[in-house]
Amino acid sequence: MHQDKNSKISVIIPTINEEGSFAKVLSDIFKTILDKIIVVDNGSTDRSAKVAQNQGAVALAEPDRSYGSACLRGISYLKQNNPPDILVFLDVDYSDYPEDMLGLLDKINQGYDFVLGFRIRGISTYGVK
């Protein structure tokens, strides 16, 4: 699938106790190209979900405290609420950088169906055509 200007792009951000990161990360995300930002709270004791909502994200709760469960909760929500053409997973602690999303989307524009970003410097994307 090729991305085009009409593609719906959603981001899922699993979180637990990261309210201090949301203002910066969400301001760094290119909201103009995104259809939805989904934040899945994995049992935070701080105001992570509320801060994310105040920044325009959809906040969901997932009581099973695992990264995978949070991702699956976000996917389940999107499947029932106008699914995107492209789905990006992003961490809120800057272990993933929002600007790297553009490189991933570029690979999709080149015809890759699955693109994976790596945290290792010098390796930006890998895709399968």
Does residue 106 lie within any of the structural domains?
Answer: no
Does residue 27 lie within any of the structural domains?
Answer: yes
Q: What is the pLDDT, as a whole number, of residue 30?
A: 77
| pTM, to two decimals | 0.86
Number of domains in the chain: 1
Q: Contact 85/8 with Cβ under 8 angstroms?
A: yes
Positions of the chain with pLDDT lower than 50, given as ranges: 1-3, 122-123
Does residue 123 lie within any of the structural domains?
Answer: no
What are the pLDDT digits (tens) for 35-54? Answer: 999 999 999 999 999 999 99
Does residue 111 lie within any of the structural domains?
Answer: no
Does residue 42 lie within any of the structural domains?
Answer: yes
Determine the structural domain holding residue 15 and report its residue range.
9-96
What are the pLDDT digits (tens) for 101-116? Answer: 888 888 888 888 888 7
CA 72-22-63 angle, to 5 degrees, is: 35
Does residue 59 lie within any of the structural domains?
Answer: yes
- We report the CATH number of the domain holding residue 45 as 3.90.550.10
